[in-house]
Structure 1
Amino acid sequence: MKALLFLSCFLLFGEAMFAQSVASGGAVSLEIRNILEASTPGSPVRVGDELLRQYEELIQFYADRAFTPAWPDDQRGNAAVQELLVQIEDSKYDGLKPSSYHLSAIREIAASSDAGRNHENPVHQAYMDLVLSDAFLSLAHDLYLGKVSQEGLQNSWGIEPKHVKTSFGTLLEEGLSSGRIKESLVSLWPRYQVYKSMRRTMKRYFRLAEAMEEPWDKLRGKTIKVNEESRLIPEVRKRLQYWNDLEADNSGEEERYDSSLFDGVRYFQKRNGLEADGIIGKDTYTALNESPASLIRKVAVNMERMRWLPDTVLNGRFVMVNIANFQLDYLQDNGLDTVFTSKVIVGKEYHTTPVFNGEMAYIVLSPTWTVPSSIIRREMIPKIKKDVSYLSRNHFKILTYSGKEVSPSSIDWSKASAGNFPYMIRQSPGTFNSLGQVKFIFPNKHNVYIHDTPVKSLFSRDLRAFSHGCIRIQKPAEFAAVLLEGDHKWNLESIRAGMESGRETTVLLKKKVPVVLIYLTLWTDPAGKTYLRKDIYERDEAIAKALLLD
């Protein structure tokens, strides 16, 4: 609607400029304006068989240039068309579908370029110009902002969208005038180094998929342990060698699961985010059945997630937690340098950790824990009804909202319910505290933060989804020390003393630290090694369908 209002205003106040354009031989300009002007509000805008995806941007772009054609009909323009065509064809390496960007129509335009487009009917010249511009603008939009709308997925993605700093129309204008269409589009890739690594992985998977003569048979069968024999062992060995998880010259003892294959299986399991126990079971079979074609789909989903990430954090140090990888990294230099890393525990499947970004503002040493009302209702009241000493054993106090402590024995627990409990429950500081001995706060509407935990044994698990949504960190004191570098009041020793003091202490960070909680089920490191993780929250499929990857 805004575009149509803009066009109406232009038609009212810009007739003189447009008339000058037509007077100088702008028959094509007239047809461009006629096509754009003939659209119906709320209806898809088409030229021929082609749907214009970026209609509002096209209106602005062509109105700014008095509707003159954008793509020159000379050698320079022909080269730009050919370059755009290559970028559209190569968009498959970004996990996008080239057919979404007028691929067939632009192939025809590119094929006819040598003959010269100036011999075409003005209507057809206008059609070609609009299709070319819409293809560039659509691809630019999808490379920078992503093709899929996060809001429509209902997948707990709450990261603030990127802001377009330069209009895509301006970028098109610059690309055409400089003859650098490719560079204009490449400049829109996410600035994270991992995106370029994933793009190289995507190219490799396409080559492997094209070279594969027939699809793999699905591996399935009983659990296989080391030193056992199975007819599936030769195929397991073959697939590990295919993915470079086992030396190519390792032939082993045909159907016997030997020690060298055991090492390869464990490495494969670790790279795929599985329990690295060397036992070939259901999850390992599933991972071994992933072919290059199926992995192309996974890369595409996660490249789309990379396009959703903010680029504002890349100018300094930032915290990134990959929920699906159960890991926290403190990064700098565009994510290339890892200052600190730690295992983390994230939310259970029914208490999922949300994806969002914020700024860490302060640290609390030796914290109390005010139990969220949802946990009181669902979990604590039933436990207290069974055994009221549960409160004292776990150092919980009951308080009124005016701060007065209430004795548990004064409450008729038989009548306590989710809708009839006008108190708060608070746990005292200490090693027993559910938050452990330190928490890291980045204020957010989800009330999610990073904290210590008294249950350290869970960090030995490879799959670590056990929390109510917050992030439990394995190395909290070391993380605090890294965050407080440069603050002479704090070092590792004084931080640990504060954690053990039993007195709640708030430490403000001198500079807020960006925090990004992400969900990547596949990524490639700068060295070219690809890692896969289980889709613990089952979020990949919705994005794949929205990308039209089926």
Structure 2
Amino acid sequence: MKSLLLFLFIALFSWQSYAQDSQEENSVPAELRRILESFDASQTIQIGEQDVLEPQRIVDFYTQGDFVPVWTEQGKLHPAAKEVLEAIEDSKWDGLIPQEYHLEVMTKAVELIHSSEKELTALHQAYLDIIFTDAYFALASDLYFGKVSQEALKTGWRIQTKEEKIDIGEVMKEALETGDVKSSIQKFWPRYQVYRNMRNTIKDLSAKADIDSLSWKSVSGKLLKVGDQNKLIPEIRQRLAYWGDYSGTDLSPEMLTYDSTLREAVIRFQARNGLDADGVMGKDTYEALSEGPGKLVKKAAANLERLRWLPDTVIQDRFVMVNIANFHLDFLRDNGMDTLYSSRVIVGKEYHSTPVFNGEMAYLVLSPTWTVPSSIIRNEMVPKAKKDPSYLSRNHLNILTYQGKAVSAESIDWATVTPKTFPYMIRQSPGVFNSLGQIKFIFPNQYHVYIHDTPAKSLFDKGVRAFSHGCIRLENPQGLAEKILENDSKWTPEKIHAGMNAGKETTVMLKEKIPVVLIYLTFWTDSVGNMYNRKDIYERDKEIEMAMFSDEVFLQNYKLKDK
């Protein structure tokens, strides 16, 4: 009898174990494990017809979580599934393409589940769990790091790569627990307020384009000023009215005269677009006026991508930011909300473009000398000296051997000298005539780029100020020095001024280094919604735009007519 009871107990236990094993083998975790085990890192990974966008994150997330599903439970989708769909759809305001984040298959899944009372199979649940997680991971990653790899571009972006300081999986799990999935996506936006401003601008431009009746074909023509007559004037007037710059009431196609009201509108438009506000229709003004809402949406999207590339480390208590495309420098604090100092700058010519990078300002030099770079000696100074030997002395440029011995320009046989064989260095003495002006601000970098004063003050009156060899020339350098040194009692404004005019170099080491970031933004929006559009002086926008979306996809994304 005891043997029979023991047999029955063992049989019952074995059946329960078999049933449990069978149940586990047909569970969602088991199906998740099987799918992930099929991933082949040597090729593009697909499940169904969907490419897995973040395969390594997916494997790590589910493995560390013991393959527990997070978007599905008991044959149903998580209630927050609709929220992630809304977040993906809203990603177009970030300049991204919602369809690239599994939007279609996720939308169909939500519709199917809500229209049917049937529970999903374990395999179907596992598939959808991976799809929803992958979509969240991919969108979060693109918002945090940027969609386009800046290293692969030719646009000269050399700002340090952003480090991952946020765990995407943990943020997603927390959002699912609280039911606040859509808002959680905002945690991956750049911390800069201008990013939020620009998202709103893309919305506004898209809405404005819906009621747009203009063709926005490229417009160009001859120089136009008050009193001129031209068949393009009605088109110019209409476009200025569209942007709110023309306040007149006469938009008749027969009105062919460039009058004073139109001139005032052109001046307002030029000022908003960073151009010479002279009221004359010229090449740059025609180009800016050819950019309709569609082109500005695309331009805004490219600049949102640039903001996503910026590391959080540039946001410190105080930092210097130079927008190369805007020819402007700001000394900021409190996440850029407080401007301590602002000034116009001159940047590099197109063929001497100022690079985009970041560094740390370590010291200032008052009354600096200028040791001329060898490239400028070879390409510019030697050819000028060969034509006019007095050129060097007239510009306070001294010839020195590399042992420090002075060499007279008159002692050199310039007829036999070539740029490649010139064996000396050239150095300019301190003074108001010095090409670096009376002060320079040094943030050591491999590009030998720094911020400095300049004696050529008249160039600051130009709208487009790309004249240097790459360095940043500052309009009011003493103002920046005073702000940087305001907590150093040894350097009062009077002592700074005296040092700048002393005629001999003085190096001022900073007690705390100040982050410096040189950026390239051709479009941005301020806190009250004003748009700022700038000429793409280095023609860098196009490459980013092409990497982000094709023209066809772009037009579909925003339902626009012009691209």
Residue identity in the other structure for 2:289: L
Q: Which residue of 2 aligns with 1:474?
A: 475
Aligned partners of 1:426, 1:194: CA distance in 2, in Å? 43
- Alignment of 1:171 with 2:174, yes or no, is no
Aligned partners of 2:168, 2:351: CA distance in 1, in Å? 40
Aligned partners of 1:378, 1:124: CA distance in 2, in Å? 68
Shift of residue 373 of structure 1?
1.4
Percent identity reads 53
Q: Which residue of 1 aligns with 2:407?
A: 406
Aligned partners of 1:74, 1:84: CA distance in 2, in Å? 20
Residue identity in the other structure for 2:132: L
SS at match of 1:508: strand
Post-superposition CA distance 1:146-185 (Å, at most 9, x none): 0000100021111011111122122222222222212221
TM-score, structure 2 normalization: 0.89
Q: Which residue of 1 aligns with 2:66?
A: 66
- Alignment of 1:91 with 2:91, yes or no, is yes
Residue identity in the other structure for 1:434: S
Contact 1:367–1:504 at 8 Å: present in 2 too?
yes
Aligned partners of 1:85, 1:145: CA distance in 2, in Å? 21
Aligned partners of 1:392, 1:237: CA distance in 2, in Å? 53
Shift of residue 403 of structure 1?
2.5
Residue identity in the other structure for 1:426: R
Aligned partners of 1:149, 1:96: CA distance in 2, in Å? 14
Contact 1:273–1:532 at 8 Å: present in 2 too?
yes
Aligned partners of 1:172, 1:25: CA distance in 2, in Å? 27
Contact 1:360–1:441 at 8 Å: present in 2 too?
yes
Shift of residue 486 of structure 1?
1.7
Contact 2:77–2:110 at 8 Å: present in 1 too?
no
Post-superposition CA distance 1:115-152 (Å, at most 9, x none): 57972233222221111111100000110110000100
For the aligned residue pairs, the C-alpha RMSD in angstroms reads 2.4
- Alignment of 1:54 with 2:84, yes or no, is no
Q: Which residue of 1 aligns with 2:447?
A: 446
Shift of residue 527 of structure 1?
1.5
Aligned partners of 2:386, 2:219: CA distance in 1, in Å? 50
Residue identity in the other structure for 1:405: A
Residue identity in the other structure for 1:538: E
Aligned partners of 2:236, 2:27: CA distance in 1, in Å? 66
Shift of residue 35 of structure 1?
2.0
SS at match of 1:187: helix
Residue identity in the other structure for 1:61: F
Aligned partners of 1:312, 1:116: CA distance in 2, in Å? 50
Contact 2:322–2:330 at 8 Å: present in 1 too?
yes
Q: Which residue of 2 aligns with 1:9?
A: none
Aligned partners of 1:237, 1:288: CA distance in 2, in Å? 10
Contact 1:206–1:296 at 8 Å: present in 2 too?
yes
TM-score, structure 1 normalization: 0.91
- Alignment of 1:346 with 2:347, yes or no, is yes
Contact 1:70–1:129 at 8 Å: present in 2 too?
yes
Shift of residue 248 of structure 1?
6.9
Post-superposition CA distance 1:292-346 (Å, at most 9, x none): 1121100100000111112223341211111011111111222122221111000
Residue identity in the other structure for 2:340: V
Residue identity in the other structure for 2:408: S
Shift of residue 218 of structure 1?
4.4
SS at match of 1:331: strand
Structure 1 residues 124 and 390: CA distance shift in structure 2, 3 A: same
Contact 2:52–2:134 at 8 Å: present in 1 too?
yes
Contact 2:359–2:443 at 8 Å: present in 1 too?
yes
Shift of residue 249 of structure 1?
4.9
SS at match of 1:119: coil
Aligned partners of 2:213, 2:243: CA distance in 1, in Å? 17
SS at match of 1:31: helix
Q: Which residue of 2 aligns with 1:126?
A: 126
Aligned partners of 2:420, 2:459: CA distance in 1, in Å? 33
Contact 2:383–2:419 at 8 Å: present in 1 too?
no
Structure 1 residues 505 and 351: CA distance shift in structure 2, 3 A: same
Q: Which residue of 1 aligns with 2:555?
A: none
Structure 1 residues 272 and 214: CA distance shift in structure 2, 3 A: closer
SS at match of 1:157: coil
Q: Which residue of 2 aligns with 1:388?
A: 389
Shift of residue 76 of structure 1?
9.4
Shift of residue 414 of structure 1?
4.4
**What are structure 2's unaligned runs of at least 5 residues?**
1-19, 552-563
Aligned partners of 1:425, 1:76: CA distance in 2, in Å? 77
SS at match of 1:40: coil
Aligned partners of 2:140, 2:292: CA distance in 1, in Å? 30
My pick for the range that moved more, 387-396 or 88-97, is: 387-396
SS at match of 2:381: helix
My pick for the range that moved more, 52-61 or 36-45, is: 36-45
Contact 1:87–1:182 at 8 Å: present in 2 too?
yes
SS at match of 2:537: coil
SS at match of 1:96: coil
SS at match of 2:161: coil
The 5 A counterparts of 1:214-225 are: 215-225=215-225
**What are structure 1's unaligned runs of at least 5 residues?**
1-19
Structure 1 residues 118 and 370: CA distance shift in structure 2, 3 A: farther
Residue identity in the other structure for 1:142: D
Contact 1:26–1:68 at 8 Å: present in 2 too?
no
Aligned partners of 1:429, 1:457: CA distance in 2, in Å? 21
Aligned partners of 2:116, 2:423: CA distance in 1, in Å? 80
Contact 1:362–1:508 at 8 Å: present in 2 too?
yes
Aligned partners of 2:511, 2:384: CA distance in 1, in Å? 42
Aligned partners of 1:462, 1:388: CA distance in 2, in Å? 35
Contact 2:72–2:125 at 8 Å: present in 1 too?
no
Aligned partners of 1:256, 1:348: CA distance in 2, in Å? 36
Structure 1 residues 117 and 290: CA distance shift in structure 2, 3 A: farther
Q: Which residue of 2 aligns with 1:192?
A: 192
My pick for the range that moved more, 100-109 or 275-284, is: 275-284
Shift of residue 23 of structure 1?
6.0
SS at match of 1:453: coil
Aligned partners of 2:154, 2:218: CA distance in 1, in Å? 32
